[in-house]
Structure 1
Amino acid sequence: MAVNLGINLSFVGTRFTEPEEWTRIVAKEFRVKYVQFFSDLMDPIICPPDVREKTCKRIRQLCNNYGLIIHSNFSGTIPHCLNLLLHPDKKMREVAVKWFENGIEDTVRMGSKGYGSFLGALTRKSLFDQNKMRSLIDETLKNWKHISTVAKEKGLEFLLFEPMSSEREIPSTIEQTKWWYQKLNEVSELPVHLLVDVGHGNVNSGNKKDADPYAWLEELKDKILVVHLQQTDRSSSK
């Protein structure tokens, strides 16, 4: 099986924010062709619509000039600090859906075919309230159907979701991930694939496999489209 080496733009941070900078670095210094956009560079809620549109067009032009391919657009650090689709307040969940919709719009404008994110985080109160958690999970699946419909209508070809390492950040175990993979694909209008970060093992699940990056790759290999490689000692990301 052929595997393409690419780079996630999380390294850009606040240092190389200008598209002219990071496209040059990736193409000329790293000599990498495939890029995964990092949503923090242009957060789809924080960033004004006109700025997003202008920036996406510039990114697309620069990538064409350098021969770069934006494989997908994926959530960054800012949304990871939010509850997103699992927020206890319905209005905030509606904002999260809008965040996804705007991100899809940006993805299309940049010329990419794939979009994704981690799903969200439960509060501790929601985690230990089975009725509330079940309700949030059901609503997340309904929202995913809507998100996938928007993505398909806009011209995307696939969606991604990412397992995390905390039990509040669903899913966080191999078995949970298998369940979510099945359920998301059942409701989705587009194929849903996994993005697995080798540093996202769950050391507190009670199952040693959940802390083993090799176990994640082996058990989910037919479901994974993207792997985030990083330094990890199985206990934490480095």
Structure 2
Amino acid sequence: MSVSLSLSCNPLINRITDPAELVQVCAEEVGVRRLQLTNEFINPVWPVETQARLVRQFTAAAARHGLRATSLMTGAQARLSAMGHPDDGVRRWSEDWFIRFGRIAADLGAASIGSQFAILSWSDWDDPARREARIGQVLDGWCRIWEAVEPFGLKEMFWEQMSIPREFGHTIPATQALTDRIHASGIPLRILLDVDHGDVTSDNPDDTDPFAWIRAFGRDCPILHVKQSSANKGGHWPFVEPYNSTGRIRPAEIVQALTEFGPAEAEVCLELSFREREPADRSVVQILRESVDYWRPHLKV
């Protein structure tokens, strides 16, 4: 069993825009060698020549610093993808977006791309017939995306379970039901577990228990999103004080759970968040470094 640490680039969006600077800061100042890159740094909607130039800049800097992008994930805006939209044209646009995203991932040497499975509107979710139609359409879309990106050399795709029904995966039973449908489709769309997610209104305490999620889905989970978590799911807290004293995420316990219930190789990805306020804005790199150091004794960094 091999467990490594990576960093989601979400907290660095707009704080760093140059790919070479991003690599230098993450490798030398934060101290990580694996990144989950988000689309804000190299966006599929930008001109193709711009994408290619930014890919070259990133890969050249990554080679100098011994760093790599292991996966690509949608950021705060692109996660609101139109995969679950009722209009065929909008859904096809979203599929094309993900195919271009897969091309960027392959050019960077990443193994996978991912996002949420889909997000449905209130009206589509509340009508059982429309909900079922949308789920079928979304799954067909992911199948078409995989058919297009597999030749690029990607290993797999992933979807992140969420915390409300219409964003999918809010409880363990609901996640299992969707996972079964995905497996039946035959595509390698694996689950990215965020152990801070889950429906806080559920009567089942397992649905908000990080370790219950790992026990249930660890075998199919190549990437685990973590942040310091409280019982009320209060925020994407970093792994620093005062959050570590009151939080329930302990690196040794997470690594042990992955060792027991995870795949042969797993990645623990720090997904943290910082407000656009001082002093938080200028403390991001320092706090990321402290969070990485908190995990460093327990896995490969």
- The two structures have a TM-score, normalised by structure 2, of 0.74
Matches within 5 A, 1:146-157: 146-157=144-155
- Unaligned ranges ≥5, structure 1: none
> Which SS does the other structure have where 2:192 is aligned?
strand
Partner residue in 1 for 2:206: 209
**1:173-192 matched pairs, under 5 angstroms:** 173-189=171-187, 191-192=188-189
Match of residue 142 from structure 1 = 140
Tell me if 1:226 matches 2:236.
no
1:102 aligns with 2:100: yes
> C-alpha distance in 2, partners of 1:168/1:206?
18
AA partner of residue 200 (structure 2): V
Q: Do 1:144 and 1:188's aligned partners in 2 also have CA atoms closer than 8 Å?
A: no
- Encode CA deviations 1:147-195: one digit per residue, 9 max, x unaligned: 1111211111111110011211012221222222232233244x33221
Distance 1:155 1:27 in 2: 26
Q: Is the 8 A contact 1:40 1:76 kept in 2?
A: yes
Conserved 8 A contact 1:149-1:188: no
Partners of 1:179 and 1:59 in 2: how far apart? 39
1:150–1:234 Cα change, 3 Å: farther
Q: How many residues align?
A: 235
Higher relative contact order (CA 8 A, sep 6+): 2
The separation in 2 between residues aligned to 1:131 and 1:170, in whole angstroms, is 16
Q: Which residue of 2 aligns with 1:77?
A: 76
Q: Deviations over 1:50-87 (max 9, x none)?
A: 2112111221121112111211111110123x252111
Superposed displacement of residue 225, structure 1: 0.9
Structure 2: gaps of 5 or more residues: 237-301
C-alpha contact 2:84 2:138 (8 A) present in aligned 1: yes
CA distance in structure 2 between the partners assigned to 1:83 and 1:145 by the alignment: 16
Q: Which amino acid aligns with 1:161?
A: W
Matched-pair identity in % = 25
Kept after mapping to 2: 8 A contact 1:211/1:235: no
Counterparts of 1:128 and 1:175, CA distance in 2: 19
For 2:63, the aligned partner's letter is N
Root-mean-square deviation (Å): 1.6
Partner letter of residue 208 of structure 1? P
**Which of 1 and 2 has greater Rg?**
2
Letter in 2 for 1:42: I
Higher mean C-alpha displacement, 207-216 vs 69-78: 207-216
**TM-score (norm. length: structure 1):** 0.92
Is residue 2:198 matched to residue 1:194? no
Q: 2:103–2:152: 8 Å Cα contact kept in structure 1?
A: yes
* Residue pair 1:39, 1:74 contacting (<8 A) in 2 also: yes
Q: Which amino acid aligns with 1:75?
A: T
**Residue 21 (structure 2) pairs with residue 24 (structure 1):** no
Partner of 1:158: 156
Larger deviation, residues 48-57 vs 6-15: 48-57
Work out the CA distance in 2 between the residues paired with 1:186 and 1:57: 38
Contact 2:158–2:190 under 8 Å retained in 1: yes
Partner residue, 1:116: 114
